[in-house]
Structure 1
Amino acid sequence: MEIWLIQNGKKRGPYPDYDIRSRIAHRELDPETIAWHEGLAEWTEIGKMDLFRKEFPEKESVATPPELPRKYLERAESAETVSPSATELPKPRKYLIRRFWARWLDLTFYTTIWWLLMYLAGKDIGLALLNPWLQLSLYIPWFALEAWMLQRNATTLGKWLMGLRVINEDGSKLHLKNSVWRSVRVMVTGIGFGWGLLSLLCQAMSWFTTRRIGKPIWDYLGAHKVVASELNALKIIVMVFLFFVCAQLQLAVKGPHLQKMMLEKNPEYKEFFEQANLRYFPINKK
């Protein structure tokens, strides 16, 4: 069933009923929110609708505690919270594209540094490319680093360039434990360890899950949210530049080995590379 809402004096919608339930569960809608759906004679408070009445817990009368002593109030005032300078977008699905590019800039930047260090350390790049266990564990150090950055700064390089920050529902920063669990969920269910078709499948599933429940599964389970500020043109230019530089550096390190492996499996491409002058290593002519 499709639901219409009145928010900030404007009519919004329609929204599917499961979307409304998700937003109620995350306290994005209160019982006094005015809504309407087909079959109702007039606009009604959403908490009074038969469709959603059970979604709101019944209010119970509880004793009012005494006022806190001043020393406890001072502690609460000095507690570190994330500044509300960024504006939270009303529907997370609207900035899925921004989150996608932020994620893959982080991963691309990290893997570029990783391969450069392998090269500078004199490691066999060709052997590393063929090692499945090394490929499986490639992103583990990054997600450990990401967990630390989110706990400390609520953002990463890619998220910062895209104007995104990850915080708790109450506006506070993530604790390290929660941040680690979030990164583990992203690594396993979000990108599938970066393994080819598995990665594509996990990203597609994450896309459809987010469109259905309003946020990725790792933020839904952890009660986190992503807040966004306006895009900055200069930051976008920097992001494109970093993607280009990282691609060139990885091509310089891995290109010769990838070409060699391809020619060993498909020697018929040797003439093509010679004619196109796309050689990363000398090809012996017969």
Structure 2
Amino acid sequence: MKSMHNNLSRSINRLEESPGGFNQTFNSSLTVARSLCATDAAANQLQTWESFVSAMQVSSALFRAASISEGTVECRIDDKMRTISATGPQYYADAGNWVTAFWLAAICRESGRMDQLSQIPLSLLRASGAEYDEYLYHWVDSLQTYWLEAPGLVDKLIAAIDASYPAVARNTDRALLDKILYQPINLFHRFLRCDHAGFNDALVEALEYHRQYWTVDEQRADSPEGFVALGPLAIACLAYDSGFPIDVESDYLPRSLLRRGWVGEFDT
């Protein structure tokens, strides 16, 4: 783990000179954060919180740099203000990474960064060249509309749900879609309806599907990507902050992240 941290620190330090390294740095920061949850499932340790903050900072900076083609952006990453050159649209500034960045900002309760992410146009995400099913763009649109309190949320969410049906979403693995990618959409729907009991039932189901998907074989079981149910956690954070009673306990749902255990302890 110490080696992973050192490599990540070097990668972050290089961003000012070489912003083209954002994709590797983002992936490394996520791996470190998730890996720490293998031994600190509740995220009680400061180091675990700091790792999620770093991943959030890198992902937000990635999209800030991608949103302009000239000049620089000032970003706090790893407890330091950094001046990073504009990159313009990049292959890694795609809809999938946008959703992950939004989850991280929600988990870290970074409303300012959620504001910034919600201003990212869908055209920038499409310019990445990534081939995603259309439901994902409807989903991004729904999250942006919700956060900005803009009109049309219900219609956009319905479009995301309809486009996620297996008969329509044909570019995504069925098990991945059903057990991982669709679950935050289902939770979000119940959140918007203020369905407290239904939300907790759906959260239990989402975590069980997460377990099934990430323990199907030894290779997946060893992957840090499965150590935390990032999407369900993020939606649960939104619900928790809105007064939902979250009755579910799970190692996939780090308690201190859900219940704001470290929020406000230091500048992020």
Q: TM-score range by the shorter chain?
A: under 0.3
Q: Which has the larger radius of gyration?
A: 1
Bigger proportion of residues as strand: 1
With the length of structure 1 as denominator, give the TM-score of the two structures: 0.24
Which has the bigger relative contact order, CA under 8 A and spacing at least 6? 2
